[in-house]
Amino acid sequence: MNQETTSSVHAPEFSAGNVDRFLDRLDEKVRRSPREAILIAFLAGALLQVFAVRHVLLTVARLALSLATPILFFFTAWRLFQIGDADGSLSRFFGLRKQ
């Protein structure tokens, strides 16, 4: 086996060589049919305008911020329970048996 064959077997999917080959194929496709490439670019732009990406990102950020406090509260409570349960005192309090 030559070096190229052995290295491509273990190469990650997004290596520099793979990305370069993909961009070369994409460039060749655009050169063959520029109208199709322009149409796809306009459609992509229109879809981005219609779906209002900025609004979606702001909504996701607001949701994440509103859920951060309850998630941190429950995580902290769970960790405190685990720390306090190390000697078994909390298990007796909650009626659980340590196994």
Examine the domain organization and report whether 60 and 45 are in the same domain: no
Residue 44 sits at the vertex; the CA angle it makes with 57 and 41, to the nearest 5 degrees, is 140
Answer whether residue 94 shows pLDDT above 70: no
Examine the domain organization and report whether 97 and 67 are in the same domain: yes
Examine the domain organization and report whether 1 and 31 are in the same domain: yes
| Containing structural domain, residue 76 | 54-99
Residue 25 sits at the vertex; the CA angle it makes with 6 and 3, to the nearest 5 degrees, is 15
Examine the domain organization and report whether 28 and 73 are in the same domain: no
Examine the domain organization and report whether 47 and 59 are in the same domain: no
Answer whether residue 1 shows pLDDT above 50: no
Average pLDDT, the chain: 79
Examine the domain organization and report whether 72 and 36 are in the same domain: no
Number of domains present in the structure of the chain: 2
Contact predicate 98/91, CB 8 Å: yes
Q: What is the DSSP string of 35-81?
A: HHHHHHHHHHHHHHHHTTHHHHHHHHHHHHHHHHHHHHHHHHHHHHH
pLDDT digits (tens, 9 = 90+) for 40-50: 889 988 887 87
Examine the domain organization and report whether 31 and 17 are in the same domain: yes
Examine the domain organization and report whether 42 and 10 are in the same domain: yes
pLDDT at residue number 98? 55
Q: Give percent of the chain with pLDDT exceeding 70.
A: 73
